[in-house]
Copies of this chain bind each other. A is one copy, B any other.
């Protein structure tokens, strides 16, 4: 029987708004992963309805109105995850584009923030002679991990992989956009993932908890997890959304401009009651 751990994941948003504002939140675990749900709860204060739907990529989304006045929107879930670090296989090979499955093809094309076309020469000069396959993707992660310095506030909602490469600063989203761009430039399918990342068995960082972004790369006959920001294999990732880049998966989209007083993210081992 598989050994598991129990996590509490979730988030809380406090807004102020003059009027009610339509919004979409992506904060619930993807069903297409080895994560089971013990208990989950949406809480809106003042109370209001929510409407779930599934986007093009199969990601769970939830529509709701951010109410007028000061409001709290919170989602919390108690989940069960495997007690194991993610798989790796240093021998996993690269495929040529004609060998890829149909559904992987879009993940070698440029997208809004991932620019394999612009970064192609850089990618080939740095990684073109690396041994192909899993090790080459690892070399990309090593480079990005070293080249980019993590710092909040150094990038914005429109920062591209090219911008990050130039500035050398960014957050996990930017690390991921850059590594994804290098993979795609080499015709290796790479997709952007975001979710909850608990600090199980790693030294906690001195930062507020946040959503995390990383990537999945297609090698051999499946997708593999790589995390250019942390550059280590981890336990307990809870995926929320997958897409071509951050423009496909947004934790919160508001059709209007409420003031966000605070956002809190939780992702930690559950304390037994």
Question: Which residues of the partner chain B approach A55 to less than 8 Å between Cβ atoms?
Answer: 106
Q: Which residue of B lies closest to A256 (CB)?
A: B97
Task: Determine the main DSSP class of A at the interface with B.
Answer: mixed
Assembled-state Cα–Cα distance A42/B78 (Å)? 12
A158 interface contact, C-beta 8 A: yes
Taking beta carbons and an 8 Å cutoff, which residues of A are in contact with B? 22, 24, 31-32, 35-43, 47-57, 61, 63, 65, 79-80, 96-98, 102, 105-106, 108-112, 117, 158, 187, 247, 253, 255
Q: List 30 A-B contacts (CB under 8 A).
A: A22-B98, A31-B51, A31-B54, A31-B102, A32-B53, A36-B49, A36-B50, A37-B42, A37-B49, A37-B51, A37-B52, A38-B48, A38-B50, A39-B41, A40-B42, A41-B41, A49-B79, A49-B80, A51-B102, A56-B56, A56-B57, A63-B98, A63-B102, A63-B105, A97-B255, A110-B247, A111-B112, A112-B112, A117-B158, A187-B255
Contact B54 A37 (CB under 8 A): no
B57 near A47: Cβ-Cβ < 8 Å: no
